[in-house]
Chains A and B, each alone.
Chain A
Amino acid sequence: MTSPPDAPGEATRPVAPRPRRVVPLWGWLLVVVVIWWVASRIGDGRAVLYLPGQETTDFHDRFTDLKADLIAGRDTNVLMQVVGAVSDAFNGVVEQLQGLVSTPDLPRPVPQIGWLGVLGIAGWVSLAIAGWRHALGTMASLAAVGLLGYWVDGMDTLIITFFSVAVSLALGLPLAVWMGTSRRVNAVVTPVLDVLQTFPAFVYLAPMALFFSLGPAIAVAVTVLYALPPAVRISAHALRSVSETTIEATTSLGQTGWQRLIKVQLPMARPSIIVGVNQTMMAALSISVIAGFVNGPGLGKPVLRALTAGSNQVGVAFVAGASIVLIAIMLDRVTTAASERTELVARGGGGNRRTQRIVLAVAGAAALVSVYVSRTYFSFAEFPDTEVGPEVADAVQSATDWTTSNFSGLTTGIQESVTTVFINPLQDLVAGSPWFVTGLALLVLSQLLAGWRGALISAVCLSGIYATDLWYDAMVTLTSVLVATLFVMVVAVVLGVWMARRRLVDRLLRPLLDAGQVMPSFVYLIPVLALFGPGRFTAIVAAFIYAVPVATKLVADGVRQVSETTVEAATAAGSTPWQLITKVQLPMARGHLVLAANQGLLFVLAMVVIGGLVGGGALGYDSVLGFSRGEFFGKGVSAGIAIVLLGIMVDRVARGAAERDRSAPGLLVRLRTRTPAHHLS
């Protein structure tokens, strides 16, 4: 294929004036797709590298043997003994904390601090760091979790979350500082973080259980692995963005590097670091359900139990999931407010210190009273049983039953037509072509969209996928991911534009989008299954629900940023609303649209494994298979590798395409919206 006109080298050619593009980019893309399609007809299903669901290859078996060796040598393996000691320490800490607030601290029949005491302390802490509104919000959220009937599990989730976030920060901050001082470290650590964020947790759960035993420690370890990347990334970014002039000024005053770090960089980066804490917490919560797969304490367990008990338990799963959402929103709001407040205080604002101290002291006294009361009386120690949880569950259950029984005819029609019209033809092309045809086509497309760098990255990733012996499955997964992203973008653009143009719509939709992002997908899997039956479409729907919120928010922000004057000028010039949207607002928000597509893609990819649980097949199924059955462990690992490679390829090509567009927003937007990308929950 020919390179597009703005490829490197073009500028040096003595052609003047620069010729207009004869064939636009989309023209080239079309040509590639047509040739690809013809080649796939000729190939007629040959050389697609299909491997049946329950077969493995030598590449896979090597990993399986590796794990068997680990198990056989576990009594003498030094690394395992060391990790075992660490995990004993983790278990000890978590059990102490549980005795403090969640489970009976024997021989005490109840935990040391009962629910009223926890409310008092949580309220006081929120008051201290975020203000009285947030204190009330925190207490209300916790009380609601109790009313829904999940006080103990909710406390366990909070314990695991806080402890994991503490560990993540203890590891992440020094790493971030190190990354900030050395470009080389940065170059090594960044891809490792990428892999950690995209590698499906399902694949490493079972081997991790060998190292970390089956107590709370493994929940902490899994959570830390997933929450570490945002902690490191955002802290490193925060340190890097402390202004050059400030640093130069202090250096000229003779500060050493260490002094600079402690006295200037860390304090100045504090608000951004709190944003990092926020994102780390959200990531930790989003993996809490996965931790339930290895008996991790917390709300993940009731959610998963409902999944095994079948369609009569959707309401129960919803109530447990809603508790996770409540906790997530509570932590999000408090940490965001805390970050804004430190910024305010850093600039010298923040109100009268003396009054603040008095209020805090009085509130502290009240909190102490509540702790005392909760230690003395049963009714303030154990959260009383209420009918609220079961009633909400029943209501949700009957609403779900009604929907599924009335609409399943219609939904089956939708599922069948989308599968026949979109998914199957695209899959025939991508997975049904001989592997070398698809590989070549993807390389050319990467080059067209993201230049030679993009093509090089794709070449590396595609070779890796070929090596995993899961080429066919990877291409089926790629197809589903692309279709899902397409749907996500269509809906995100419609909703995003609507939100940007109408304040009221924004105000109504935003909380729903927030909830959609944190609600564990396991909660809606069963109703979605009942509506659409197992299959790739259902997997796409699950991914769609997870990815739409982030993409929609990005589109809305992008459209809203188009300057008022431009919009007024266009309106004055007689543009109809339709013209205004299509000719002015959307083109000017192009950078955000590209970013939304990129994020949408990554979020969809993060749901591939969940898709495997509902008939999505391909790499998702392979990952679940590897976790469920020892003899397929290696296949699961290979599927994990293939998912990571697909993720890197798709992300880098999309990013490469975005970087060619000058209006693409900067790194911070990307960071802020990046997490809670989670593959599973």
Chain B
Amino acid sequence: MKLRKASAITGSLATLALVLSACGGGDIAAEEKENESQAAAAGDCGELNMAVNPWVGFAADAYVVGHLAETELGCTVNYKDLKEEVSWQGFGTGEVDVVIEDWGHPDLEKLYFEDQGGDGSAMEMGPTGNVGIIGWYVAPWMAEEYPDITDWENLNDYADMFETPESGGKGQFLGADPSYVQFDEAIVANLGLDFQVVFSGSEAASIAAFEKAEANKTPLIGYFYEPQWFMSEVPLVKVNLPEFTDGCQDVAQDVACDYPETQLKKVVATEFAESDSPAVDLIANFQWTNDDQNLVAKYISVDGMSAEEAAATWVEENPDKVEAWLS
């Protein structure tokens, strides 16, 4: 009884297989052959190991460059989702070739840049063209309602308003993701501001907080930065701190000035830079604007495209910019 049932199943499966072979999708064996012949004819790019640090702007740069390396130069691009610290560790072992957007990591440079006494496994490869602006920001509605809040000297007048149950009787200043270099605790202390730094803990948490503050018209001041896709959603307004001068941020405890504008740069593995991979020139030539990056980041974060789709879309829309990197 059981046996007959089982053989019926086998029979129907075999029939199914036959039917499938009649309408089957395509021929795997044929494509395998094609791949083999293609591999023989392909260029000499080989593999390109691209770190993807955890923010959307970074992914925008990485996938646009990666897309071009793949489609124009025939590289096999490996995207590796890593934080900065771990990415830089990978330069020396050949596991990471490129960190496409670096906001400045003096401590890592000391470990890995030869001219700074490191092991020489990493080196700079010019600016990305993006300018990083870090600073103190308030929700847009506040700047409208209290125009003079954008000057740090008036912040103490508003400190009460920013008080939350988290901030121990002072105004709350929302510190950012621990990945970023922050001097806010020192700035608050040295400027004599009546604020307490409360760390959001992640970029996602900071964005959620600003989104909520703008939607509910609740007060919020905190650390933020450009380029960032979120700025096109909720254009935060920058508070002017005492202007940055050379050296004013050298001693962490004594900082009492604004953050400098940062030329974001590309960092690559020395071994990769010295190789004859055609991707080296592409990385060296790659430069674009904050608006370019924000557009790709918006495709990903707001329009819900995958990073690959977003990059392909932008590349298609901007042939002239792309042309310049490839020549």
Assess the A214–B86 pair: CB atoms within 8 A.
yes
- Contacting B216 at CB < 8 Å: which of A412, A416, A526, A617? A412
Interfacial chain B residues near A210, Cβ < 8 Å: 89
Are B201 and A526 closer than 8 Å at their CB atoms? Answer: no
Minimum distance in angstroms from A447 CB to a CB of chain B: 32
Partner among B24, B201, B229 whose Cβ is within 8 Å of the Cβ of A617: B201
A: contact size bracket: 35 or more
Quick check: A294 and B28 within 8 Å, CB to CB? no
* CB–CB B166/A535 < 8 A: yes
Whether A192 is near chain B, meaning CB under 8 Å from some CB there, is no
CA distance A445 to B234 in the complex (A): 50
Q: Are the C-beta atoms of B166 and A530 separated by less than 8 Å?
A: no
Among candidates B14, B31, B230, residue contacting A310 with C-beta atoms closer than 8 Å: B230
Comparing A179-187, A375-383, A581-589, the segment that makes contact with chain B is A375-383
Which residues of the other chain, B, contact A71 by a CB distance below 8 angstroms? 89, 111, 119
- Docked-complex contact A534 and B216, CB < 8 angstroms: no
A295 to B59 Cα, complex, angstroms: 14
Would you call B102 an interface residue if the criterion is a C-beta within 8 Å of the partner chain's C-beta atoms?
no
Taking CB as reference atom, which chain B residue is nearest A539?
B201
For the complex, what is the distance from the CA of A615 to the CA of B178, rounded to whole Å? 11
Q: Which of B67-83 contact A (CB under 8 A)?
A: 80-83
Which residues of chain A are within 8 angstroms of B21 by Cβ–Cβ distance? 373, 376-377
Closest B residue to A620 by CB, please name it: B201
Residues in B with CB closer than 8 Å to A106 are 35, 39
B161 close to chain A: CB less than 8 A? no
Closest to A108 in B: B32
**Which of B24, B28, B204 lies in contact with A307, CB distance below 8 A?**
B204
Q: Nearest Cβ in chain A — how far from B94, in angstroms?
A: 9
How many angstroms between the C-alpha atoms of A312 and B207 in the bound complex? 11
> Interface majority SS on B: helix, strand, loop or mixed?
helix
- Contact between chains at B185 and A628 (CB < 8 Å): no
A255 to B38, CA, bound (A): 65
**Does B197 count as interface, using CB distance less than 8 angstroms?**
yes
State whether A536 and B83 are in contact (beta carbons under 8 Å apart), knowing that A312-B304, A376-B21, A630-B107 are contacts in the complex: no
Q: How large is the interface on B (under 10, 10 to 19, 20 to 34, 35 or more residues)?
A: 35 or more
CA distance A529 to B35 in the complex (A): 47
B122 CB, nearest partner CB in chain A, Å = 12
- Answer whether residue A625 sits at the interface, using C-beta atoms and an 8 A cutoff: yes
Interface status of A358 (Cβ within 8 A of chain B) = yes
* Contact residue among B20, B54, B203 (Cβ-Cβ distance under 8 Å from A373): B20
Q: Is A213 part of the contact surface with B, judged by Cβ < 8 Å?
A: yes
B256 / chain A contacts, CB cutoff of 8 Å? none
Contact A530 B24 (CB under 8 A): no
For A215, A311, A415, A526, the residue with the greatest tally of chain B CB atoms inside 10 Å of its CB is: A311
B182-A54 in contact (CB<8A): yes
CA distance A611 to B166 in the complex (A): 14
The reply to whether the CB of B174 lies closer than 8 angstroms to some CB of chain A is yes
Give the contact stretch, choosing among B1-9, B123-131, B152-160, B284-292: B1-9
B96 contacts across to A, CB distance below 8 A: 214
Residue with the highest number of chain A CB atoms closer than 10 Å, among B81, B92, B206: B81
Check A535 against B89 for contact (C-beta < 8 Å).
no
B22-55 interface (Cβ within 8 A of A): 24-29, 31-32, 35-36, 39, 54-55
8 Å CB interface, B178-193 against A: 178-179, 181-183, 185
Asked if A472 is at the interface of the complex by the 8 Å CB criterion, the answer is: no
A residues near B133, Cβ cutoff 8 Å:
none
By the criterion CB–CB under 8 Å, are B32 and A312 in contact?
Answer: no
CB of A525 closer than 8 Å to a CB of B:
yes
B90 within 8 A of partner (CB): yes
Query: Which of B10, B89, B107, B215 sits near A362, CB closer than 8 Å?
Result: B10
Complex Cα spacing A419 to B166, Å = 8
Query: With A53-B197, A106-B35 in contact, is A408–B216 under 8 Å at CB?
Result: yes
Question: Could you write out 10 A-B pairs with CB less than 8 Å apart?
Answer: A54-B185, A109-B28, A213-B90, A304-B81, A369-B13, A369-B14, A376-B21, A377-B21, A416-B165, A627-B85
Binding site for A on B (CB under 8 A): 2-3, 6-7, 9-10, 13-14, 17, 20-21, 24-29, 31-32, 35-36, 39, 54-56, 59, 80-86, 89-90, 92-93, 95-96, 105, 107-108, 111, 119, 164-166, 174-175, 177-179, 181-183, 185, 197-209, 211-212, 215-216, 218, 229-230, 252-253, 300-302, 304
Binding site for B on A (CB under 8 A): 52-55, 68, 71-72, 74, 106-110, 205-206, 209-210, 213-215, 292-295, 301, 304-305, 307-313, 316, 355, 358-359, 362-363, 365-366, 369-370, 372-373, 375-381, 405, 408-409, 412, 415-416, 419-420, 423-424, 525-526, 529-530, 533-538, 611-617, 620-621, 624-625, 627-632
Given A311-B204, A358-B2, A412-B218, 12 extra CB contacts under 8 A: A108-B32, A205-B86, A308-B204, A310-B207, A310-B301, A362-B3, A362-B10, A369-B13, A408-B216, A536-B166, A616-B201, A628-B178
The 7 closest A-B pairs by CB, nearest first: A378-B25, A379-B25, A419-B165, A362-B6, A377-B24, A625-B178, A107-B35
